[in-house]
Amino acid sequence: MSFQVFGIAVSRGVAIGRAVLVASSRVDVAHYFVSPDEIQSEIARLLRARDAVVHELATLKDELPGDAPHELAALLDVHLMLLHDEALTGSASQWIVDRHYNAEWALSAQLEVLARQFDEMEDDYLRERKADLEQVVERVLGALAQEAGKAPPPVRPRDFGGEDPLLLVAADIAPADMIQFKRSVFRGFITDIGGKTSHTAIVARSMDIPAVVGTREASRLIMQDDWVIIDGDAGTVIVNPSPIVLEEYRFRQRQSELERARLARLRHTPAVTLDGVQVDLHANIEMPVDAESAVAAGATGVGLFRSEFLFMNRDGELPSEEEQFIAYKAAVESMKGMPVTIRTVDVGADKPLDRLTVNELRHEHVLNPAMGLRAIRWSLAEPSMFRQQLRAIYRASAYGKVRLLIPMVAHLSEVRQILETIRKVQQQLTDAGHAFTRVELGVMIEIPAAAVMLPLLLRHVDFVSIGTNDLIQYTLAIDRADEAVAHLYDPWHPAVLQLISQSIAQANAAGKGVSVCGEMAGDPDFTELLLAMGLRSFSMHPSQIPAVKQRVLRADAQRLASALPRLLESEDPRATAEKELSAARSGAAIVH
Ligand code: PEP
Ligand code: MG
């Protein structure tokens, strides 16, 4: 039966493929394809892991003390029975044969299928056996991991699997797990949770693959292996589409691929408006390797390196100064003399240091994590970690143009502490004989307080970068990751526009650099608005650069600026912008 699921469009384009359901807690299980001649050995690996767990449980049962409650032995029997059930390992082996999934993936896929069957059981006792099944699978996954050693799982592109693209469906995916998917086999994402600027959505966008989040129920309604269309522009998911609908979407998919190829030709065209205003289009990156896609997309610098992603997937263990230095240096060298803006760690809220904490935050309702010990607050609370990161950043400055960016600043006292720490770090580096050059200091404008007191902040820094994702969140008191209030998360809100416009004007008047690095910068719907406000530096995911560049090339900056006052006075800025700003746009097609 065909049906639709509605969510929030977060990453454009159309993806068509088969659903792969993954439980949130198991998203980090390795997902790769085995080659046809590895199928038998992969099945053998799965069965070996199963047998190891059988042996472990059987021994446990044999060694139960005489006075152990008899429920314990009964429970072990249930687990042993599940392990021997063909529906688990037999069917999981079938996933390996049919789809060439690796053992861990095959087992989790089969768990999803069985878990649903348990959910639908009438009998309470049987329904509750789902938890036993999950425990058993956890144990087998543990045995597989042990066999594979501690080495990171191989991430293999789609060399061997069937022809069908695969789309990931999960209740939620933590940003840390999304990072592991960067080179993964999935061609689209659907999640139950999340908003347009939740970090999961941001990473999906950086991968340039269609995604719909905040669907609330997709992971319950969609079945393993269902055919699914993700319409990343409309925010809809069509499950088991009819042949006519499928054909229509295949057509749209081809059209958007053609459009991308057309825009890619703008890569080497300088971003200059019709009236000759030069605009910097920089890239947002999460890992040093992303710098390569930044260069390939025609970015003229990195406007935001979200360094916190270096701190994730490490079981809470922080990267050393040396490790960070190597990562920053790699990004700086890839950019070949173009500026690289490294933001100090922004952990906290929906980007905790390890996955366990994500689950705790989500499920135990820690009070207001977005307003808690996040970003610079966390860095200042961990001074030795902060100094370590600053040393690594400064050392990288010997290899190219590095700029330092501090997230979530709201107090002048924070800026003073940062400046004091920088002085200490410079002294330490000099004493240790490390080379470094001048590093410009910038703060992010993400908290309304910072925007309101910008003239005071500007006295102490070289540049500012407006983080519209958080600025909107804190101005409107809307949790950016909460789909329940996503409809109120409004970049067109007059208060938001006032804050952004004032900040750009004040920084320009003070002769200090100003850029926008939130998601608004990469959305072509806002390019003219930001140009009208006087913005000349945008930072976005590399994949968004061509579309924004096309808007810049068609814009007349002076005419846009003259329309701004009417827009800021309007009670409906979006409608006014549509009317006023489009009048200042050249209708001429720039690329053919
Ligand atoms: C922002 O808040 O706009 C921003 C760029 O930072 P992040 O999305 O990483 O919080
Ligand atoms: Mg932010």
Q: Are 2 and 239 in contact (CB under 8 A)?
A: yes
Please write the tens of the pLDDT for every residue from 233-270. Answer: 999 999 999 999 999 999 999 998 888 888 888 988 99
Please write the tens of the pLDDT for every residue from 44-66. Answer: 999 999 999 999 989 888 887 77
Q: Are strands 211-213 and 8-11 parallel, antiparallel or unpaired?
A: antiparallel
Q: Tell me what pLDDT residue 362 has.
A: 44
Please write the tens of the pLDDT for every residue from 10-44. Answer: 888 899 999 998 876 666 677 888 999 999 999 99
Q: Tell me what pLDDT residue 363 has.
A: 40
**DSSP letter for each residue of 241-307:** --HHHHHHHHHHHHHHHHHHHHHHTTTTS--B-TT--B-EEEEEESSTTHHHHHHHTT-SSEEEEEG
- Model confidence at 116, pLDDT cuts 50, 70, 90, reads confident
Segment 503-523 shows an average pLDDT of 97
Q: Tell me what pLDDT residue 484 has.
A: 87
pLDDT at 158 over 90: no
Domains of the chain (ranges, CATH numbers): 3-23+159-262 (3.50.30.10), 36-147 (1.10.274.10), 265-584 (3.20.20.60)
Output the CA 249–ligand 1 centroid distance in Å.
32
pLDDT at 499 over 90: yes
Q: Are 300 and 401 in contact (CB under 8 A)?
A: no
Who contacts 568 (Cβ-Cβ below 8 Å, separation ≥6)? Answer: 494, 497, 498, 501
Q: Tell me what pLDDT residue 358 has.
A: 44
Output the CA 229–ligand 1 centroid distance in Å.
29
Nearest ligand, measured from the Cα of 343: 1
Burial 3-13 (b: 16+ CB within 10 A, else e): eebebbbbbbb
Protein residue whose Cα sits closest to atom 6 of ligand 1: 467
Q: How far apart are CA 82 and CA 483, in angstroms?
A: 37
Please write the tens of the pLDDT for every residue from 437-468. Answer: 999 999 999 999 999 999 999 999 999 999 99
Q: Which residues pair with 227 in a beta bridge?
A: 18
Tokens 């056996």: give the residue: 129
- The residue ranges of DSSP E strands in 1-125, in sequence order, are 3-6, 8-11, 14-21
Output the CA 530–ligand 1 centroid distance in Å.
17
- Model confidence at 206, pLDDT cuts 50, 70, 90, reads confident
Long-range contacts of 110-115 (CB under 8 A, 24+ apart): 111/23, 111/26, 111/137, 112/21, 112/22, 112/23, 112/224, 113/223, 113/224, 114/87, 114/88, 115/23
Q: Tell me what pLDDT residue 592 has.
A: 38
Q: How far apart are CA 82 and CA 106, in angstroms?
A: 16
Who contacts 86 (Cβ-Cβ below 8 Å, separation ≥6)? Answer: none
Alpha-carbon distances, residue 21 vs 121, 195, 227 (angstroms): 20, 20, 12
Who contacts 74 (Cβ-Cβ below 8 Å, separation ≥6)? Answer: none
Q: Are 253 and 14 in contact (CB under 8 A)?
A: yes
- Model confidence at 121, pLDDT cuts 50, 70, 90, reads confident
- The residue ranges of DSSP E strands in 116-185, in sequence order, are 166-170
Q: Tell me what pLDDT residue 364 has.
A: 44
- Model confidence at 190, pLDDT cuts 50, 70, 90, reads very high
What's the residue count for the chain? 592
Segment 365-384 shows an average pLDDT of 85
Q: Are 205 and 10 in contact (CB under 8 A)?
A: yes
pLDDT at 302 over 90: yes
Find the Cα–Cα–Cα–Cα dihedral 388, 392, 393, 395, rounded to 10°: 130
Structure tokens of 413?
């006292």
The better pLDDT of the pair 531, 77 is held by 531
Q: Which atom of ligand 1 is nearest to the CA of 473?
A: 2
Q: Are 455 and 506 in contact (CB under 8 A)?
A: yes
Q: Which of 79, 199, 282, 541 is catalytic?
A: 199
Structure tokens of 539?
């930072």
Who contacts 407 (Cβ-Cβ below 8 Å, separation ≥6)? Answer: 343, 344, 346, 375, 376, 444, 446, 467
517 is catalytic: yes
84 is catalytic: no
Determine whether the shortest distance from the Cβ of 175 to ligand 1 is under 6 A. Answer: no
Please write the tens of the pLDDT for every residue from 334-365. Answer: 999 999 999 999 987 777 776 544 444 444 44
Determine whether the shortest distance from the Cβ of 517 to ligand 1 is under 6 A. Answer: yes
User: Using CB atoms within 10 A of its CB, is residue 411 exposed (0-12), middle (13-18) or buried (19+)?
Assistant: middle
Determine whether the shortest distance from the Cβ of 446 to ligand 1 is under 6 A. Answer: yes
Q: Which atom of ligand 1 is nearest to the CA of 284?
A: 5
Of 263, 438, 468, 268, the C-alpha closest to 339 is 438
Who contacts 50 (Cβ-Cβ below 8 Å, separation ≥6)? Answer: 83, 89, 140, 143
Alpha-carbon distances, residue 56 vs 92, 136, 517, 556 (angstroms): 21, 12, 52, 72
Determine whether the shortest distance from the Cβ of 467 to ligand 1 is under 6 A. Answer: yes
Ligand 1, from 285, 444, 496: best to mutate by most atoms within 8 Å of Cβ? 444
Alpha-carbon distances, residue 213 vs 112, 368, 523, 527 (angstroms): 20, 22, 17, 24
Q: Tell me what pLDDT residue 359 has.
A: 44
* In the chain, % of residues over pLDDT 70: 91
User: Using CB atoms within 10 A of its CB, is residue 334 exposed (0-12), middle (13-18) or buried (19+)?
Assistant: buried
Q: How far apart are CA 31 and CA 28, in angstroms?
A: 8
Burial 14-51 (b: 16+ CB within 10 A, else e): bbbbebbbbbbbbbbbbbbbbeeeebeebbebbbebbe
Protein residue whose Cα sits closest to atom 10 of ligand 1: 470
> What is the pLDDT of the chain when averaged over all its residues?
89
Strand order in the sheet with 186-191: 3-6, 236-239, 227-231, 14-21, 166-170, 186-191, 211-213, 8-11
Structure tokens of 437?
């050059």
Q: Which residues pair with 212 in a beta bridge?
A: 9, 190
Segment 183-190 shows an average pLDDT of 83
Determine whether the shortest distance from the Cβ of 469 to ligand 1 is under 6 A. Answer: yes
Q: Are 112 and 102 in contact (CB under 8 A)?
A: no
